[in-house]
Structure 1
Amino acid sequence: MEFHSMALYRMAGCAACAALCLLLLAACGNEVRGTPEPPAEFGARERSLVGCPSLQGVYAWPPVAGEYAGGKIPSNRTPWDGGLPVPVHGREMQIWVQQQAGGQTVLRTRLVNRERNVRNVLARQWSLATYGRSQVGCTSGMLELEPRDTHAANHYGGTGIRRGFRLARMKDGALAVGIHTLSTGHTGSFFSWGGQSYGSYKAADVEYWSWSKLALLEPGDKEPAPIDAYVPGATAP
């Protein structure tokens, strides 16, 4: 009986210790997965003495490196889920970035059609996303939109999602796009025994960073011509 009581005291002590450790860990800040800067394999970043380097240009989707490189997109995933920084699809696209007077950053996407016998109106229409000066900032030479509430299919184990992004100009002219996902509403249990969990606490939010590198196609100082191979009456691609 005495041995049984001692075992229970030890269990209670261990549980209290574990609870304290978990609370301390939760108080230390978010758990971060990935890096808030472009991966080293992307190459060197362009630098500017003041502010952020210009991001203007026409870029190619899918990426040449990083997430979704070569168009490798799982069937159960949506690239840049939530449409930040701009809606994209699994197919080839043009991405046109403009930085306008007044501090606005404008991103447009348009499908590329290389099939002569397929007519697709999206090869001649732009999707549009505009970010004003008050919405974005310059962080370590990168244009940044802080995470904001968004609707996304995947909550990464939490109950809510906030999403933002970073855009960085690389020395080879490419654009590095970093998607910043903040998964909120995580909980944990103080301890488990016999398949049961006892007590709960608010766990730290989890931050995810994923990066894609887009190749530069054109300077972007004027609207790029559509890439549309459609020929009326054509019967083969």
Structure 2
Amino acid sequence: MNELTMIELSMIELTNIHRDFLVGSQRVHALDDINLSIVAGEYISIMGPSGSGKSTLLNLIGLLDSATTGTYLLNQQNVTSLPDNQQAATRSKTIGFVFQAFHLIPRLTAAQNIELPLILAGTDPKLRHPLVNKAITEMDLTDRAQHTPDQLSGGQRQRVAIARATIMQPKLLLADEPTGNLDQKSGLDVINILEQLNRQGITVIIVTHDANIGERATRQIKMLDGRIESDQTLSQASI
């Protein structure tokens, strides 16, 4: 694929991205001159030691953080300096998030947690309920739909979180250590779900410390000290 074609198809284009933080009087370079193109439909793992910039990069891609300098194009739109309300609208339409700690609302049932993005988007209840029921069925949560998070296992909570993250049909799904709080079997179930979503056309980017999970992706990015140390296609991807 030539460079022009890659640019035309790129969903994400980061150019000379820097993200600096002040810690006391010291400036920390969390991201240091990141240049990255991601094509729609890719399945990418981001790996590296703690403090290497993995989560900062994911948060920036997800519009939860902004670059100090550099340019970010998302679907050919320059989102580098969008006002907060426009960033929120773009996130709602385009991006889903899955976190290590689930971030479910404790007082809401599984079904209500899944429904929440639809409520916030103003979706008609007549349209919301079939979508939620479909998501519950697809995530094998039918018998847990009316349970609150504290009544669910870790794997069930993460499946609720994935359903909530994808209920708005985003084109991009960002997962930050999605198996970090799960046992091996539950973690594998979650990865299988994410890979199935990728096969359906969703771009999936996973931050992980787990080499086995990282090697399942079709592309692996390794970071060190805020920089991309390597970026390679994995020929033995498991999907």
TM-score of the aligned structures, taking structure 1 as reference length: 0.24
Which has more strand, going by share of residues? 1
Scaled by the length of structure 2, the TM-score of the pair is 0.23
The structure with more helix, counted as a fraction of residues: 2
Find the structure with the greater CA-based Rg.
1
